[in-house]
Chain A
Protein backbone atom coordinates (compact mmCIF):
# COMPACT_ATOMS: atom_id res chain seq x y z
CA UNK A 1 0.00 0.00 0.00
CA UNK A 2 2.99 2.28 0.39
CA UNK A 3 4.20 1.70 -3.16
CA UNK A 4 4.31 4.19 -5.97
CA UNK A 5 4.08 2.47 -9.35
CA UNK A 6 5.81 4.30 -12.20
CA UNK A 7 5.57 3.63 -15.91
CA UNK A 8 6.98 3.27 -18.46
CA UNK A 9 10.40 2.01 -17.46
CA UNK A 10 11.92 3.66 -20.51
CA UNK A 11 10.71 6.06 -23.15
CA UNK A 12 12.11 7.34 -26.44
CA UNK A 13 10.56 10.47 -27.97
CA UNK A 14 11.48 12.64 -30.91
CA UNK A 15 12.53 16.21 -30.23
CA UNK A 16 9.48 18.41 -29.88
CA UNK A 17 7.27 15.55 -28.77
CA UNK A 18 5.48 15.34 -25.43
CA UNK A 19 6.73 12.48 -23.26
CA UNK A 20 4.31 11.43 -20.53
CA UNK A 21 5.37 9.53 -17.44
CA UNK A 22 2.71 8.05 -15.20
CA UNK A 23 2.62 7.18 -11.52
CA UNK A 24 -0.06 5.52 -9.42
CA UNK A 25 -0.48 5.04 -5.69
CA UNK A 26 -2.88 3.41 -3.25
CA UNK A 27 -2.30 5.18 0.05
CA UNK A 28 -4.52 8.24 0.32
CA UNK A 29 -2.40 9.52 3.20
CA UNK A 30 0.31 10.66 0.79
CA UNK A 31 0.28 14.45 0.97
CA UNK A 32 2.91 15.70 -1.46
CA UNK A 33 4.10 14.40 -4.80
CA UNK A 34 7.51 15.54 -6.07
CA UNK A 35 9.25 14.63 -9.31
CA UNK A 36 13.00 14.32 -9.45
CA UNK A 37 15.26 14.51 -12.50
CA UNK A 38 18.57 12.67 -12.62
CA UNK A 39 21.21 13.15 -15.29
CA UNK A 40 23.85 10.47 -15.83
CA UNK A 41 26.58 10.69 -13.21
CA UNK A 42 24.62 13.13 -11.06
CA UNK A 43 22.34 12.93 -8.09
CA UNK A 44 18.59 13.41 -8.45
CA UNK A 45 17.32 16.97 -8.21
CA UNK A 46 13.82 18.21 -7.46
CA UNK A 47 12.10 19.20 -10.69
CA UNK A 48 8.51 20.02 -9.78
CA UNK A 49 6.03 18.99 -7.09
CA UNK A 50 2.31 19.08 -6.43
CA UNK A 51 -0.09 18.79 -3.52
CA UNK A 52 -3.16 16.52 -3.86
CA UNK A 53 -5.61 19.44 -3.66
CA UNK A 54 -4.27 20.80 -6.97
CA UNK A 55 -5.12 19.19 -10.32
CA UNK A 56 -2.32 20.68 -12.39
CA UNK A 57 0.93 22.52 -11.90
CA UNK A 58 3.19 23.99 -14.58
CA UNK A 59 6.78 25.09 -14.35
CA UNK A 60 8.19 26.07 -17.69
CA UNK A 61 7.85 23.12 -20.06
CA UNK A 62 7.10 20.68 -17.25
CA UNK A 63 3.54 19.97 -16.13
CA UNK A 64 2.19 17.68 -13.43
CA UNK A 65 -1.37 16.47 -13.84
CA UNK A 66 -2.96 15.05 -10.71
CA UNK A 67 -6.09 12.89 -10.56
CA UNK A 68 -6.96 12.41 -6.92
CA UNK A 69 -9.95 10.14 -7.50
CA UNK A 70 -7.93 7.81 -9.71
CA UNK A 71 -4.88 8.07 -7.43
CA UNK A 72 -2.69 8.83 -10.40
CA UNK A 73 -0.36 11.62 -11.38
CA UNK A 74 1.74 12.22 -14.43
CA UNK A 75 4.57 14.35 -15.74
CA UNK A 76 4.34 15.92 -19.19
CA UNK A 77 7.27 17.60 -20.90
CA UNK A 78 6.21 20.06 -23.58
CA UNK A 79 8.41 20.70 -26.62
CA UNK A 80 10.92 18.13 -25.37
CA UNK A 81 14.60 18.70 -26.08
CA UNK A 82 17.61 16.36 -26.16
CA UNK A 83 18.79 18.08 -22.97
CA UNK A 84 15.73 16.65 -21.20
CA UNK A 85 17.17 13.15 -21.62
CA UNK A 86 17.46 11.89 -18.06
CA UNK A 87 15.91 9.50 -15.59
CA UNK A 88 12.76 10.80 -13.95
CA UNK A 89 11.50 9.62 -10.58
CA UNK A 90 8.11 10.28 -9.11
CA UNK A 91 7.73 10.13 -5.36
CA UNK A 92 5.12 10.51 -2.67
CA UNK A 93 5.52 11.91 0.80
CA UNK A 94 3.94 10.19 3.77
CA UNK A 95 3.74 11.21 7.40
CA UNK A 96 4.87 8.16 9.38
CA UNK A 97 4.48 9.49 12.89
CA UNK A 98 4.90 12.68 14.84
CA UNK A 99 6.64 15.11 12.53
CA UNK A 100 8.45 12.42 10.61
CA UNK A 101 7.85 11.91 6.91
CA UNK A 102 8.98 9.21 4.52
CA UNK A 103 9.52 9.68 0.81
CA UNK A 104 8.32 6.70 -1.25
CA UNK A 105 9.97 6.49 -4.67
CA UNK A 106 8.80 5.21 -8.01
CA UNK A 107 11.16 2.93 -9.94
CA UNK A 108 12.20 5.62 -12.41
CA UNK A 109 11.76 6.24 -16.14
CA UNK A 110 14.73 6.55 -18.44
CA UNK A 111 13.80 9.16 -21.03
CA UNK A 112 15.69 9.66 -24.27
CA UNK A 113 14.82 12.57 -26.55
CA UNK A 114 16.08 11.97 -30.08
CA UNK A 115 17.29 15.01 -32.05
Chain B
Protein backbone atom coordinates (compact mmCIF):
# COMPACT_ATOMS: atom_id res chain seq x y z
CA UNK B 1 0.00 0.00 0.00
CA UNK B 2 1.60 3.23 -1.20
CA UNK B 3 -0.56 5.46 1.00
CA UNK B 4 -1.99 7.27 -2.03
CA UNK B 5 -5.76 6.90 -2.34
CA UNK B 6 -7.68 7.32 -5.56
CA UNK B 7 -11.42 7.28 -6.10
CA UNK B 8 -13.35 6.00 -7.88
CA UNK B 9 -11.52 2.80 -8.88
CA UNK B 10 -13.76 2.29 -11.88
CA UNK B 11 -15.95 4.69 -13.82
CA UNK B 12 -18.07 4.12 -16.90
CA UNK B 13 -19.60 7.07 -18.66
CA UNK B 14 -20.73 8.27 -22.06
CA UNK B 15 -19.12 10.50 -24.62
CA UNK B 16 -19.63 14.18 -23.99
CA UNK B 17 -19.92 13.74 -20.24
CA UNK B 18 -17.75 15.17 -17.48
CA UNK B 19 -16.11 13.24 -14.63
CA UNK B 20 -14.00 14.09 -11.61
CA UNK B 21 -11.25 11.85 -10.28
CA UNK B 22 -10.02 12.33 -6.75
CA UNK B 23 -6.66 11.73 -5.14
CA UNK B 24 -5.45 11.89 -1.57
CA UNK B 25 -1.64 11.94 -1.37
CA UNK B 26 0.46 10.18 1.25
CA UNK B 27 0.44 11.87 4.60
CA UNK B 28 2.98 14.69 4.53
CA UNK B 29 3.47 14.73 0.75
CA UNK B 30 2.96 18.15 -0.76
CA UNK B 31 3.27 17.28 -4.45
CA UNK B 32 0.63 15.53 -6.49
CA UNK B 33 1.09 14.29 -10.05
CA UNK B 34 -1.47 13.02 -12.53
CA UNK B 35 -0.64 10.46 -15.21
CA UNK B 36 -2.66 8.83 -17.97
CA UNK B 37 -2.01 5.25 -19.06
CA UNK B 38 -3.91 3.97 -22.07
CA UNK B 39 -4.20 0.24 -22.80
CA UNK B 40 -0.73 -1.31 -23.08
CA UNK B 41 0.78 2.16 -23.25
CA UNK B 42 3.32 3.96 -21.19
CA UNK B 43 2.75 6.64 -18.62
CA UNK B 44 1.84 10.06 -19.96
CA UNK B 45 2.48 12.89 -17.51
CA UNK B 46 -0.45 15.28 -17.32
CA UNK B 47 0.16 17.82 -14.55
CA UNK B 48 1.85 18.40 -11.19
CA UNK B 49 0.77 20.46 -8.20
CA UNK B 50 2.84 21.45 -5.21
CA UNK B 51 1.16 22.77 -2.10
CA UNK B 52 -1.81 24.03 -4.05
CA UNK B 53 0.05 25.57 -6.96
CA UNK B 54 0.53 24.23 -10.46
CA UNK B 55 4.21 23.28 -10.89
CA UNK B 56 4.52 21.48 -14.20
CA UNK B 57 2.34 20.69 -17.14
CA UNK B 58 2.67 17.78 -19.53
CA UNK B 59 0.48 16.66 -22.38
CA UNK B 60 -2.76 17.64 -20.75
CA UNK B 61 -5.68 18.37 -23.04
CA UNK B 62 -7.57 21.66 -22.71
CA UNK B 63 -10.67 19.59 -21.86
CA UNK B 64 -8.86 18.38 -18.75
CA UNK B 65 -8.15 20.44 -15.66
CA UNK B 66 -6.91 19.79 -12.17
CA UNK B 67 -6.52 21.47 -8.84
CA UNK B 68 -5.03 20.82 -5.45
CA UNK B 69 -6.99 21.90 -2.42
CA UNK B 70 -5.74 23.32 0.92
CA UNK B 71 -5.99 19.87 2.53
CA UNK B 72 -3.65 18.71 -0.30
CA UNK B 73 -6.06 16.36 -1.98
CA UNK B 74 -6.34 16.81 -5.72
CA UNK B 75 -9.02 16.44 -8.34
CA UNK B 76 -8.68 15.83 -12.06
CA UNK B 77 -11.64 17.00 -14.10
CA UNK B 78 -12.22 15.50 -17.51
CA UNK B 79 -14.89 17.10 -19.68
CA UNK B 80 -16.45 16.59 -23.12
CA UNK B 81 -15.24 13.03 -22.89
CA UNK B 82 -14.28 11.14 -26.01
CA UNK B 83 -13.79 7.43 -26.60
CA UNK B 84 -10.03 7.99 -26.68
CA UNK B 85 -10.06 9.27 -23.12
CA UNK B 86 -10.68 5.73 -21.89
CA UNK B 87 -7.61 4.93 -19.82
CA UNK B 88 -6.18 4.38 -16.39
CA UNK B 89 -5.55 7.64 -14.58
CA UNK B 90 -2.92 7.52 -11.88
CA UNK B 91 -2.20 9.94 -9.14
CA UNK B 92 1.23 9.98 -7.53
CA UNK B 93 2.71 11.98 -4.70
CA UNK B 94 6.15 12.92 -3.48
CA UNK B 95 7.58 14.48 -0.38
CA UNK B 96 8.90 17.71 -1.78
CA UNK B 97 8.35 20.08 -4.62
CA UNK B 98 10.01 17.70 -7.00
CA UNK B 99 11.44 14.26 -6.49
CA UNK B 100 15.16 14.80 -6.97
CA UNK B 101 15.55 11.12 -6.18
CA UNK B 102 12.90 10.25 -8.75
CA UNK B 103 10.69 8.53 -6.19
CA UNK B 104 6.99 8.90 -6.71
CA UNK B 105 4.35 6.98 -4.80
CA UNK B 106 1.47 5.91 -7.02
CA UNK B 107 -2.11 5.15 -6.21
CA UNK B 108 -3.90 2.17 -7.74
CA UNK B 109 -5.50 4.28 -10.41
CA UNK B 110 -8.97 5.13 -11.64
CA UNK B 111 -10.07 3.18 -14.68
CA UNK B 112 -12.22 5.34 -16.92
CA UNK B 113 -14.28 3.77 -19.68
CA UNK B 114 -16.03 6.09 -22.11
CA UNK B 115 -18.79 4.44 -24.17
Contact = CB atoms under 8 A, between A and B. Distances in A.
B108 A42 contact: yes
Interface residues of A, number: 27
B48 to A, nearest CB: 9
Given A41-B108, A43-B2, A100-B97, A93 B102 contact: yes
Interface in A90-109: 91-93, 95-96, 99-103, 105-108
> Interface extent on B, as a size class?
20 to 34
B102 A100 contact: no
Contacts of B90: 43-44
Contacts, number: 72
Contacts of A101: 98-100, 102
Contacts of B106: 43-45
A62 interface: no
B56 A93 contact: no
Secondary structure dominating the interface of B: loop
A106 B43 CA distance: 8
Contacts of B102: 32-34, 46, 49, 91-93, 101, 103
A10 to B, nearest CB: 9
A43 B98 contact: no
Interface of A: 31-34, 41-46, 49, 89, 91-93, 95-96, 99-103, 105-108, 110
Interface of B: 2, 4, 40-43, 45, 55-56, 90, 92, 96-109
30 contacts: A31-B100, A32-B100, A32-B102, A33-B102, A34-B102, A34-B103, A41-B109, A42-B109, A43-B108, A43-B109, A44-B104, A45-B106, A46-B103, A46-B104, A49-B102, A89-B43, A91-B102, A92-B102, A93-B99, A93-B102, A99-B100, A100-B98, A102-B45, A102-B56, A103-B45, A105-B45, A106-B42, A107-B42, A108-B43, A110-B40
